[in-house]
Structure 1
């Protein structure tokens, strides 16, 4: 069964989409329910107050009814008009009210309007078919809501009526209070804004929490996923920075430990196989020479076999030492500390270590530095890598020739190159130059690990190593170290 490492991320996106969708739907439903009930509750409260007021006004008019059972049309007019002229400022839950929005009209027992406080043009009109008057004349609860303009929903007016009775309980007329719904609309709109603000704050909190979860958890998981993919591709990626999230770091450490364990087993198996394979040749040579030394032979031939034993012993030692250094290097995920290094000093220190090897072939080492800013890296590793490149160049350089050790600088990186004037490389050698134990040195003198070491140093510095033929002859090895490392 093939494991798809991208599946968890796809599931995460689907879950996030569902959470966002459900949350948005929930917010919309909550907003609709709150605003719908808000209008209903506001108008209910207004209606409840108007019912009481209508009955109080009707009772007041009833106290003024004479024996003729006639209603004084202007019984409330003086008080009502005076109240309309009152100057006041009422701060009602943040809404400033300065005028009275309540009006009324009186009808007789036939539903004909006798008086209207705000709309005198309605006096004399028959309102008996309107619910407030029609129901009040039947002594029932009387209320209606009508629009002045049918095309405008905000022109609605709420009417609440109360019958006016004489002492015998006969209905003499109707008092109907009316109030434009726009008079209470500011309260509704203010509550709308309050609800929207509250929902916005809650939504912002949820969004901030979601973003924090992504930054704290999912983003590190994405980095770990890419880290795992790189390992799957056979690369040696750096362990990513996961922030301070405990969960992601716990998972990251477990993944890193698992990788280290698997790498340890793989390296052990790989290096055991490589060491066994590479030591067969020198051990066989040593064994053969030692067996021949047991026989009688001329001193010159005996000295030759002893030299072979020493050479093969040294070669075995070089292989073992090289493998140990390389295994320690390959076990590193990244360099813990990078130090600023002066470019010219790095080249000069590396050159000192190979100076003694230049003399037998009368070679000249020319050092050039065209870098002005320090490079960031681990000094001992870089020196060892440069020394390996110089030793290769010395090995293949003709007598009395020059080796060029140069460092240059660009905006993005430092480039260290070692060029010789030797025969150059065959095409197949360029392709295999950085393979373990591959060597073109005569008589198998090399361990075949020097260039592998250089490549690992480059990887740890997030750089590159290359080896190819120079257009003007010879070979040139290049070590590129990015400044961002």
Structure 2
């Protein structure tokens, strides 16, 4: 299972369980919280009424007072109040008053006057001097029919002369409870979803950064040219820098070892030839033979010099991870300069040159490297073109790329060699002398093309061989 999914699942489990626990706990606290607040209000109301009713109860004229009519009028009121989105259309308090024996003197509903309420906890405990409250179901089979009763003593000095009790049905609180539960459920669910989305984003971001670093490490381990990915975050950025430093150190060490072995192997043949010729020159021999051995020493020395220079150039390109500059490189001017530099060879072999590159075409890249790459291709073309043959430069535009072509008249490349032309140290014998080159030129060209995001192709065409360099085209911004 990918690391990002595992991180998200752990985060999902933690956030989901924590959110569910907190939400369920708060939901469970809504109902008792609302009822506690309501009870607190009933306590204040009962004590207020106890003070208002004290004189009437003490004088024994409660029934003859205006209070029965007041309570009846109170029960008929229609407030039409909007309370936090809930419409209240009627009053719900029931108020009854008892004497010191628990006999009901006054009832806002008119149903309990004259009854003995001394057995009910609200009246019983209040008459004892305790806090009197009870919750009683109007319908024993209906759990939502419970009514909350809160009583307060009517005092005459230190003597309890009566009890006033205020009741409120719990069903009248249900709309507020349901509304609070619904809003809390939406908000809690939204917060959980938001938390999960944030967790998913963080998991994706972390796994994406790790995937970048993994692909980079895999590319480096495969010997491919790769650019260090850009990752944000303190630890991730430090990890990327550490991988890059490790790559540089390991690659540099392996690179030096590989090139020391390569150079040692390639220098064996010319050194052996020079040593053999030097040993023979130490003895007596005809002047003509001596000149031939001296010429061999000069040729092998030149070959070693070329090999060292080509290896140095190739090493510089292979060690680079990107271009130092990306400028407009006019292709016609580049080709003209290379042809002018090789004009002595061209005239000596009486070669025909066709320069068909348009002056308006420019490649985007590093001028020095592109010049060296095209110079290697031209050098190969001159080696394999017979005297009086044709060399032709042309260029075409394909979308955002420009294709530079170099055709040289001559024998086709053998099929077995086509796939190995850019292989390091692989070379074909030159037609004029049968000798091979260092085998590093086309490998250098391919490395330069990879740095530019381009492509090198070489193939047989009618009448000879053609090389294609596909490069990014420079366009004015």
Task: Please tell me whether residue 451 in structure 1 is matched to residue 439 in structure 2.
Answer: no
- CA change 1:44–1:466 in 2 (3 A) is same
From 289, 295, 307, the counterpart of 1:301? 289
Corresponding position of 1:474: 464
User: Partners in 2 of 1:382 and 1:83 — Cα distance?
Assistant: 99
User: Structure 1 stretches of 5 or more lacking a match?
Assistant: 1-8, 117-122
CA contact (8 A) 2:147 2:168 kept: yes
- CA change 1:145–1:27 in 2 (3 A) is farther
Query: Superposition RMSD on alpha carbons, in Å?
Result: 4.5
Comparing 221-230 and 175-184, the one that deviates more: 175-184
- CA change 1:376–1:328 in 2 (3 A) is same
Task: Please tell me whether residue 46 in structure 1 is matched to residue 38 in structure 2.
Answer: yes
Shift of 1:345: 3.1
CA contact (8 A) 1:111 1:134 kept: no
Corresponding position of 1:24: 16
Shift of 1:359: 1.9
User: Partners in 1 of 2:221 and 2:76 — Cα distance?
Assistant: 85
User: Partners in 2 of 1:132 and 1:375 — Cα distance?
Assistant: 106
User: Partners in 2 of 1:69 and 1:270 — Cα distance?
Assistant: 118
Shift of 1:317: 0.3
TM-score normalised over the length of structure 2: 0.79
Task: Please tell me whether residue 75 in structure 1 is matched to residue 67 in structure 2.
Answer: yes
Task: Please tell me whether residue 405 in structure 1 is matched to residue 393 in structure 2.
Answer: yes
CA contact (8 A) 1:139 1:163 kept: no
CA contact (8 A) 2:449 2:471 kept: yes
User: Partners in 2 of 1:187 and 1:206 — Cα distance?
Assistant: 28
From 301, 308, 333, the counterpart of 1:313? 301
Corresponding position of 1:115: 108
Shift of 1:435: 1.6
- CA change 1:220–1:446 in 2 (3 A) is same
User: Partners in 2 of 1:157 and 1:132 — Cα distance?
Assistant: 20
- CA change 1:462–1:283 in 2 (3 A) is same
Corresponding position of 2:246: 258
Matches within 5 A, 1:191-230: 193=183, 211=201, 215=205, 219-230=208-219
CA contact (8 A) 2:427 2:437 kept: yes
Matches within 5 A, 1:50-449: 50-57=42-49, 60-61=52-53, 63-65=55-57, 71=63, 75=67, 77-78=69-70, 81=73, 101-106=91-96, 114-116=107-109, 124=111, 134-136=120-122, 138-139=124-125, 141-144=132-135, 158-162=147-151, 175-178=165-168, 185=175, 189=179, 193=183, 211=201, 215=205, 219-243=208-232, 245-369=233-357, 374-442=362-430, 443-449=434-440
- CA change 1:193–1:312 in 2 (3 A) is same
User: Partners in 2 of 1:422 and 1:315 — Cα distance?
Assistant: 25
User: Structure 2 stretches of 5 or more lacking a match?
Assistant: 127-131
User: Partners in 2 of 1:205 and 1:376 — Cα distance?
Assistant: 47
Shift of 1:458: 1.3
Shift of 1:352: 3.3
Comparing 177-186 and 338-347, the one that deviates more: 177-186
Comparing 62-71 and 351-360, the one that deviates more: 62-71
User: Partners in 1 of 2:346 and 2:287 — Cα distance?
Assistant: 32
CA contact (8 A) 1:132 1:142 kept: no
* 1:444 partner SS: coil
- CA change 1:354–1:132 in 2 (3 A) is farther
User: Partners in 2 of 1:400 and 1:132 — Cα distance?
Assistant: 134
User: Partners in 2 of 1:38 and 1:372 — Cα distance?
Assistant: 79
* 1:447 partner SS: coil
Shift of 1:420: 1.9
- CA change 1:437–1:22 in 2 (3 A) is same
Corresponding position of 1:4: none
- Cα deviation digits, residues 377-411 of structure 1 (max 9, x gap): 11100110011111111211222222222332222
- CA change 1:165–1:240 in 2 (3 A) is closer
Shift of 1:296: 3.9
TM-score normalised over the length of structure 1: 0.78
Q: Could you say which structure has the greater relative contact order, defined with CA pairs below 8 angstroms and 6 or more residues apart?
A: 2
Corresponding position of 1:14: 6
CA contact (8 A) 1:369 1:406 kept: yes
Corresponding position of 2:129: none
Shift of 1:475: 2.1
* 2:393 partner SS: strand
CA contact (8 A) 1:458 1:465 kept: yes
Corresponding position of 1:119: none
- Cα deviation digits, residues 244-279 of structure 1 (max 9, x gap): x44333322222222222222222222122112211
CA contact (8 A) 1:58 1:162 kept: no
How many pairs were matched up? 460
Shift of 1:103: 2.4
